[in-house]
Amino acid sequence: MFDNIDKLSQRARELRAPTKQPIKVMVSMGTCGIAAGATPVLAALQKEIAERNLESSVKLVETGCMGLCYCEPSIEIENTQTGKSIIYGNVKPGDAPVIVKNLDGAAVGVDTVNRTWYYPELEEPGEQQLQARIVLRNSGRVNPERLDDYVANNGYQALGKVLTEMSARAVIDEILASGLRGRGGGGFPTGKKWEFAANQESDVKYLICNADEGDPGAFMDRAVLEGDPHSVLEAMAIAGYAIGAHEGYIYIRAEYPLAIKRLRIAIEQAENAGLLGKNILGSDFDFHIELKYGAGAFVCGEETALIHSIEGKRGEPTFKPPYPAISGLWGKPTIVNNVETFANITAIIRLGAAWFRRIGTEKSPGTKVFALAGKIKRVGLIEVPMGTALRDIIFNLGGGIYNDKEFKAVQTGGPSGGALPASQLDTPIDYDSLKALGSMMGSGGMIVMDEDDCMVNIAKFFLEFTLDESCGKCTPCRIGNTRLFEMLEQICEGNGTEETLTKLKTLALTIKDTALCGLGQTSPNPVLSTLSNFADEYQSHVKDKRCLAGVCTKLISYVINDQCVGCTLCARNCPVQCIAGERKEQHVIDQDKCIKCGVCYNTCKFHAIDRI
């Protein structure tokens, strides 16, 4: 029980004291790591350490995600005395002996991974370290289920500082000065939001952490909650103090069971330690946190819809104003901040706004976490300073395009964002540059597409997602997006005309101009950005009735050319048996029966099948 800040600091000093176990073996145990097989790896390492009687000098730590999805299970071995560390990827249980045998150097036969990140709080960046980890500073480093691990890393020091040294106004001023903008997508200045709510006279105010992460392929909030739950709880208490709220909710998707479990543990630990609940750190400040589960509706990430969902109503947005900061949950002033936004707070309070502003750009200070996905070599989670060029992210951190194919586009901002072409790869990533290009920051999904992707089809794919996830309240989103989708279908099926393209663009612009909420207003972005950046692809679909990427099945056909040696491989693999021909003679595809699955094209070893 920490009934004052000194006790907490004392405990942190104790925990940081040189330990008898200078070697830390950290196993990345987020949902993704576990799915990839981290549990048997952990068991094998444990067994190996025990068998070698190294328990007294080696500490095995189950951590959250390091972000190396492309090579899970991953582990990091750190010698806290020398400061040296090594990261292994694609670790198998069978690698445990060689790894444990070589705790000080690289184990032969196991993939090593370059540490592409640095911790701005502790060190200066190395040459290849394009990542700066503030949000993910503890993720993959501490055991998220141990409060001590968090306390040892300056945990709850920011809350202590706020409660002992700062007025609510000073906290807001510090956040305002830091220039922190909402990481959920909109980029609204966090300090301003807090200020609005703080200025409201009300007996009750609420604070909500938006953990309803819903962009396809985005999982940064899950990583933070699974890897460093206390950082969010601490930040929420700070925000509560700043605006005068004593109750906080974390609205989290029910599909995140591990994050929920770790949050529950963390809340209980913090309450028992006097870091949450009544009289936090012996002060007269009370703050309680409760979990609320989302049922998997993307639109509930929109703050008014989220609030209605907590209230037990249908999760659909309402018109703003009134803004939640004035009238939110149960009609009371309410602040909704995203997980990643909260994960920045404690560092800003501890290290100051000026320190925070050193990272990132003038108008978008700090870092942003991105989930790299799609046709990229190193799929995973990265955290880079705002202003980092897209090219650096994709070709450096991401390792370039999968199978060394040609880069075609990158979709930022999830289904509400836009597809940026190669010519825009040098765009520095920040709220305003992305918006200027017709995309958006969004919550940080980044999906890379290559030459095999048809951009009309991609636009259709994203639109289908928003269509499914639209609440259906307003006309432009409910019907307008359906019509957009139908037009894209026409185009992909070869039934589009020049007029279809004109209608598509006009309607998309009108939807942007008229939709009720952020989801609706941004839903045509994939259509508009592909229309402007990949106009030639639309033209070839409409004029030549061809899909150059070979994706739109109605617009392609497979034919066998004279390179065919009659090996029969294609005929044997064809799922609808529409390929005929004698052995050692040229085969023929029955075009009427062909379902254009492309199996023959992919199996032929003689380049004898053309896709036209």
Q: Interface with other proteins by CB under 8 A: which residues?
A: 297, 299, 314, 316, 318-319, 321, 467-483, 486, 503, 506-507, 510, 512-516, 521
Q: Which is nearer to other proteins, 79 or 514 (CB)?
A: 514
Q: Cβ of residue 189: shortest distance to other proteins, in angstroms?
A: 17
CB 246 within 8 A of CB 202: no
Q: Which is nearer to other proteins, 6 or 319 (CB)?
A: 319
Q: Cβ of residue 199: shortest distance to other proteins, in angstroms?
A: 18
CB 145 within 8 A of CB 270: no
Q: Measured between alpha carbons, how far is 311 from 318 in angstroms, rounded to an integer?
A: 13
Going from the C-alpha of 75 to that of each of 71, 109, 113, the distances in angstroms are: 10, 15, 10
Q: Which is nearer to other proteins, 305 or 542 (CB)?
A: 305
86 membership: H or E segment, kind and range: strand 85-89
CB 356 within 8 A of CB 178: yes
Q: Cβ of residue 458: shortest distance to other proteins, in angstroms?
A: 19
Q: Which is nearer to other proteins, 468 or 582 (CB)?
A: 468
Going from the C-alpha of 62 to that of each of 33, 46, 80, 87, 106, the distances in angstroms are: 11, 11, 17, 15, 21
Q: Measured between alpha carbons, how far is 611 from 36 in angstroms, rounded to an integer?
A: 36
Q: Measured between alpha carbons, how far is 465 from 456 in angstroms, rounded to an integer?
A: 14
Sheet of strand 58-63: strand arrangement? 58-63, 23-28, 75-79, 85-89, 111-113
Which of 575, 612, 567 is CA-nearest to residue 595? 575
Q: Which is nearer to other proteins, 222 or 512 (CB)?
A: 512
Q: Cβ of residue 504: shortest distance to other proteins, in angstroms?
A: 11
CB 208 within 8 A of CB 125: no
Q: Which is nearer to other proteins, 18 or 321 (CB)?
A: 321
Q: Measured between alpha carbons, how far is 552 from 456 in angstroms, rounded to an integer?
A: 9
Q: Cβ neighbours of residue 42 under 8 Å, at least 6 residues apart?
A: 27, 29, 60, 62
Q: Cβ of residue 523: shortest distance to other proteins, in angstroms?
A: 10
The sign of the CA dihedral 220, 223, 229, 231 is negative
Question: Structure tokens of 254?
Answer: 């029910």
143 membership: H or E segment, kind and range: none
Q: Cβ of residue 196: shortest distance to other proteins, in angstroms?
A: 16
SS3 breakdown of the chain: % helix, strand, coil, rounded to 5? Answer: 45, 15, 40
Q: Which is nearer to other proteins, 427 or 521 (CB)?
A: 521
Q: Which is nearer to other proteins, 207 or 516 (CB)?
A: 516
Q: Which is nearer to other proteins, 486 or 536 (CB)?
A: 486
Q: Cβ of residue 322: shortest distance to other proteins, in angstroms?
A: 9
Helix (H), strand (E) counts: the chain: 25, 20
Q: Which is nearer to other proteins, 90 or 327 (CB)?
A: 327
Q: Cβ of residue 542: shortest distance to other proteins, in angstroms?
A: 18
Q: Measured between alpha carbons, how far is 271 from 291 in angstroms, rounded to an integer?
A: 14
Q: Which is nearer to other proteins, 140 or 214 (CB)?
A: 214
3-state secondary structure of 26: strand
Partners of residue 98 on adjacent β-strands: none
Q: Cβ of residue 35: shortest distance to other proteins, in angstroms?
A: 28
Q: Which is nearer to other proteins, 486 or 498 (CB)?
A: 486
Q: Which phi and psi angles does 334 have, rounded to 5°?
A: -140, 135
Q: Cβ of residue 474: shortest distance to other proteins, in angstroms?
A: 5
Q: Which is nearer to other proteins, 140 or 315 (CB)?
A: 315
CB atoms within 10 A of CB 256: 22
Q: Cβ of residue 470: shortest distance to other proteins, in angstroms?
A: 4
Q: Which phi and psi angles does 530 have, rounded to 5°?
A: -70, -35
Q: DSSP string of 221-275?
A: HHHHHHH-HHHHHHHHHHHHHHHT--EEEEEEETT-HHHHHHHHHHHHHHHHTTS
Q: Which is nearer to other proteins, 475 or 539 (CB)?
A: 475
Separation of CA 398 from chain center? 14
Q: Cβ of residue 408: shortest distance to other proteins, in angstroms?
A: 28
Q: Measured between alpha carbons, how far is 570 from 587 in angstroms, rounded to an integer?
A: 9
Q: Cβ of residue 180: shortest distance to other proteins, in angstroms?
A: 23
CB 515 within 8 A of CB 473: no
Q: Cβ of residue 489: shortest distance to other proteins, in angstroms?
A: 9
Q: Which phi and psi angles does 165 have, rounded to 5°?
A: -115, -15
Q: Measured between alpha carbons, how far is 414 from 216 in angstroms, rounded to an integer?
A: 7
Q: Which is nearer to other proteins, 285 or 323 (CB)?
A: 323
Q: Which phi and psi angles does 317 have, rounded to 5°?
A: -70, 155
Q: Cβ of residue 255: shortest distance to other proteins, in angstroms?
A: 17
